[in-house]
A and B are shown apart, each in its own frame.
Chain A
Amino acid sequence: MGALAEILFGGLFQGSLYAMMAVGLALVWTTIGVFNFSHGVFMMLGAYLAWQLVAFGLHPAIAFPLAILATAGVGWLLQATVVRPLIGRANLVLVVVITTLAAGSLIENGVLTIWGPRSKQLPPLLAGNTMIGSIGVSLHQIAIIVVTPLILWALWMFLTRTRIGLALRAVAQNEDASQLVGLNVTALYGLAFAIAAALACIAGIFMGGYRFMSPVMGADPLLKALIVVVFGGISSISGPIFAAYLIGFFEAACSYYFGLYWTPALLFAVLILTLMVRPEGIFTSRGRGLA
């Protein structure tokens, strides 16, 4: 019983973080058709911005939303500077991998210069600990498990029930036809990047509340998010969400039975198998499209 509870809880918790990261990556891929390799840096930057605002004396309830908005702004700016000018070029996917990596590296070192290498920590969403059955958990983790599905649900509603969401899904499917119904494709690209950055910032705030922050804290979540989207498929946002939780449970189970050291190796083994059997991902069909 204890084992099951621990795996379930660990899986839900890790899955929430991965889902938060992977959805942003998938959103950018489906709308613009590029991989944003600075996505992990958005997460890190978001956490640092939140930390700075809290350090200024703002209450987290004000500091966190401000940090999310600011990170969204950075996402928009990055899109406008290193992605948009390249659209229409040959090898766009590869070129944008390089430019977003470069921009990410600049931001990472900028953060290192400004805030220094010393580890920092954010206040948790909820302070304190509690017991679920026989396992001790922090309220922060429980808050993450509860808040994440709500945010993902809100994103889903935004994409499927609003005019702008409809426009984003349209751009994801056919750019020329989108222009011919009068959509502002450039603005929608910016919006997709901004939303992705905001989601990454939320993930950063989640992570900064239970682990020490460092300028390279985004690297591992980016890698995991990439695994999630490869595993779940990137042609919609529901695929990565399911895959994120599945991988969360897988990791939790592996850590419990085989130990933390073996988990990455096993995860990659599963990934390679997935790529061999179903290269388009396990939850989706071929092609692009949100929702």
Chain B
Amino acid sequence: MPILSVEGVTAGYGRVTVLNDVSLEAGRHGNVGFFGPNGHGKTTLLRVISGLLKPRSGRIFFDGEDITARSARAIVGTGLIHVPQGNRLFPDLTIADCMALGAYSARARPHEAENREKVIELFPKLAERWRQRVRTLSGGERQMVSIGTALMSHPRLLILDEPTLGLAPKIKDELCASVLDISKGGVPLIVVEQDIEFLLELSSQLYLINHGTVATEIKPGESIAHSEIMSMYFGH
């Protein structure tokens, strides 16, 4: 059984339809990557999965349970954790505050101390700035806070929306390495990225999302040449 399955989801904002009959699955082992041009529904799809946006039709199952109608808060309670795009988060809270917030749900609270250690081990830089406000941190550090907050929520499935967006190459490499570490720690990931190289390294399954639909699916085991992806991306 897949850990997450999206079945025929159609969603949008107001009169605008962004997603059109999207179906996909994420397995229990190995990570899933979403890629595709900007403005074609990747972020909207993640918002639907995490309950921030209710789909017009279609269903979403997490670990066999139908979560389509549940609130974002209830979905966090199941262990499906979404790190939104951008690193705005809580600009006037300290890193310590953010970590406490991450462990707010009843499910995560008993694991607070243990998860905090994991976060500090993964991002030692955060410990140095523990009492600093998020707005005073660099872009890379803020992204670490976002991911760290999500890890504090004790995820069973972690969704990352463009974790390396707008970061300098060196910091981006560091962050990619951390994401790989999280994956090795046993938490399955769904990652939206523009960096295909990174996605290929990270995930066993890829979905190209284009014009609000799943344009192409690359299954586990299928090898794919870089040039093929490029042609999917940019057309022929």
Q: For A180, A182, A289, which residue has the most chain B Cβ atoms within 10 angstroms?
A: A180
Residue of B nearest to A185 (CB): B73
Q: Min CB distance, A173 to chain B, in Å? A: 5
Question: In this assembly, does B77 line the interface, its C-beta being within 8 Å of a C-beta of chain A?
Answer: yes
Q: Min CB distance, A270 to chain B, in Å? A: 28
Question: In this assembly, does B149 line the interface, its C-beta being within 8 Å of a C-beta of chain A?
Answer: yes
Q: Which chain B residues border A181 with CB–CB below 8 Å?
A: 76, 101-102, 104-105, 149, 153
Q: Which chain B residues border A179 with CB–CB below 8 Å?
A: 51-52, 71-73, 76
Interface residues of B in 92-111 (CB under 8 A from A): 92-93, 97, 100-102, 104-105, 108
Q: Min CB distance, A231 to chain B, in Å? A: 21
Q: Which chain B residues border A220 with CB–CB below 8 Å?
A: none
Residue of B nearest to A184 (CB): B73
Question: In this assembly, does B123 line the interface, its C-beta being within 8 Å of a C-beta of chain A?
Answer: no
Q: For B51, B72, B150, which residue has the most chain A Cβ atoms within 10 angstroms?
A: B72
Question: In this assembly, does A129 line the interface, its C-beta being within 8 Å of a C-beta of chain B?
Answer: no
Contact check, B93 vs A169: say whether CB atoms are below 8 A apart: yes
Q: Min CB distance, A157 to chain B, in Å? A: 15
Q: Which chain A residues border B97 with CB–CB below 8 Å?
A: 166, 169-170
Question: In this assembly, does A149 line the interface, its C-beta being within 8 Å of a C-beta of chain B?
Answer: no
Residue of B nearest to A235 (CB): B92
Task: Report how many residues on chain B are interfacial, defined by Cβ distance under 8 Å.
Answer: 28
Q: Which chain B residues border A173 with CB–CB below 8 Å?
A: 90-93
Q: Min CB distance, A28 to chain B, in Å? A: 18
Q: Min CB distance, A281 to chain B, in Å? A: 16
CA–CA, A291 and B133, complex, Å: 12
Contact check, A170 vs B101: say whether CB atoms are below 8 A apart: yes
Residue of A nearest to B107 (CB): A182
Contact check, B105 vs A177: say whether CB atoms are below 8 A apart: no
Interface residues of B in 101-135 (CB under 8 A from A): 101-102, 104-105, 108
Contact of B88 among A166, A174, A182 (CB under 8 A): A174
CA–CA, A33 and B71, complex, Å: 22
Q: Min CB distance, B213 to chain A, in Å? A: 25
The 4 closest A-B pairs by CB, nearest first: A182-B76, A182-B105, A179-B72, A289-B92
A to B CB contacts below 8 Å, 20 in the list: A166-B93, A166-B97, A167-B104, A169-B90, A169-B97, A170-B97, A173-B92, A174-B90, A176-B52, A177-B84, A178-B101, A179-B72, A179-B76, A180-B150, A181-B102, A182-B77, A182-B104, A185-B73, A287-B91, A289-B92
